[in-house]
Structures are given as structure tokens and as C-alpha cells.
Amino acid sequence: MAELTVRGAAPKQDRSRATRRRLLEAAVTCLAEHGWTGSTVTVVAERAGVSRGAAQHHFPTREELFTAAVEYVAEQRSAVLRDLPGTASTHAVVELVVGLYTGPLFRAALQLWVAASHEPQLGPRVAALEARIGRETHRMTLELLHADEATPGVRETVQGLLDMARGLGLANLLSDDSARRGRVVAQWARLVDEALAG
């Protein structure tokens, strides 16, 4: 009997996990397309093809749904960095890191970030999430660049690079900035390369 229960539980858990993922993906798309104000649990549930009740079973509040969605996005972004071979050139690493900040995933995170600056229920939650994501991205970028933080200036060189990537993401919000971005990435990859070598 115990075995039967376990066997029966697995597909149910799978279904639950699939529903959760559908909700998170719908939440990210909603945020990117309509901003925080236009993104309600009802809109997301509808988009995911899930009942409002089921959505609230997974995420009791709107804040929980959207911060979980941005966390989910961040994990996908981390996976992209982890998949890069350790032999990649500085240019390839900078290009990839900048790519993390210019896609629809960053667009969704940005909407939440800006909403958090004037929504008290979102503020501390999103600030903590962004700090965690920032640390993780910094750690992986250092590793990919084979950079040693013990060397003075290295930490700030890489931090400034990530700030630049974030600024490029913002510049890409209202118009396609990819041509200019390609040239800035090439030049800054050279500057970072020289700084890390020196």
C-alpha cells in the first residue's frame, strides 16, 4: 500500500511542478509586457491556463508570485553562465554577461525592481532578491574571467562591468540598441582584459 501511494504521488507532484512553472513563466511574460500595475494574479492565471484558486494555492499573494517569477528567471540566467566553457575569451564572457541584461528576462526583473521602489510590500523582498542575484552573477563572472579578487582593483573592475551590463539593458528598453552595444562590448572587453592582465 505504501508503495502504491508513493507511485501515485509522483505524477501528482509532477503536475504540481508543471503548473508552478507555467505560472512563473506567465508571470514573467506579463511583467515584461504590461509592467507591475497590469500584472495581477488573475491575468497570470488566465494566461497560464490555470484556475485562480490553483494559482493562489501555489502563491498565496501577488508579491510571492512575482518575486518567485523573478527568482526563476535569475536561475535560468545563472544556468546560461554555468554552461559557458572555462576556456571562453574575455570578449565571449562579456558578451554573454551583457546578454543576460538585454533580454526579456531582464525586462521583467526591471519592471519588478522599479515597482518595488514605490510599493512598500515589494521593497524589502525584491531588494533581498536582487542582492542575492547580484552576488551570484558577480561570483560566476569572476570565475569565467579567471579573475582573482585578492588582487587590488579586480573586484571593482568586475563590479563596474556588471553595472555597465545593467545600464546597457536599460538602454535597450525603448529601442533596439544592439549595434551600438556590440561596439561598446568589444571595447570594454579589451579594457577589462588589460586591467585583469595588469
Task: Choose, by CB under 8 A, the member of 14, 42, 51, 127 that binds a second copy.
Answer: 127
With CA atoms as reference, report the closest residue to 133 among 181, 176, 55, 78. Answer: 78
- Which of 33, 46, 143, 193 binds a second copy (CB under 8 A)? It is 33
CB of 154: closest distance to a second copy in angstroms? Answer: 9
**CA 61, 67, 69, 70: dihedral to nearest 10 degrees?**
170
Nearer to a second copy, 54 or 142 (CB): 142
57 sits near a second copy (criterion: CB under 8 A): no
Among 17, 18, 131, 135, which residue sits at the site for a second copy (rule: CB under 8 A)? 131
What is each CA distance from 146 to 125, 142, 163, in whole angstroms? 32, 6, 19
**CA–CA distance, 141 with 157 (Å, rounded to integer):** 11
38 binds a second copy (CB under 8 A): yes
Q: Mask of contacts with a second copy, 93-112, x by CB under 8 A?
A: --------------x--xx-
Provide the 8-state DSSP code for 35.
Answer: T
User: 40 in the Ramachandran plot: left (φ > 0), alpha (ψ -120 to 50) or beta?
Assistant: beta
SS3 159: helix
Residues interacting with a second copy, by CB under 8 A?
A: 33-35, 37-38, 107, 110-111, 113-118, 123, 126-127, 130-131, 134, 153, 155-157, 159-160, 162-171, 173-175, 180, 183-184, 186-188, 190-191, 194-195
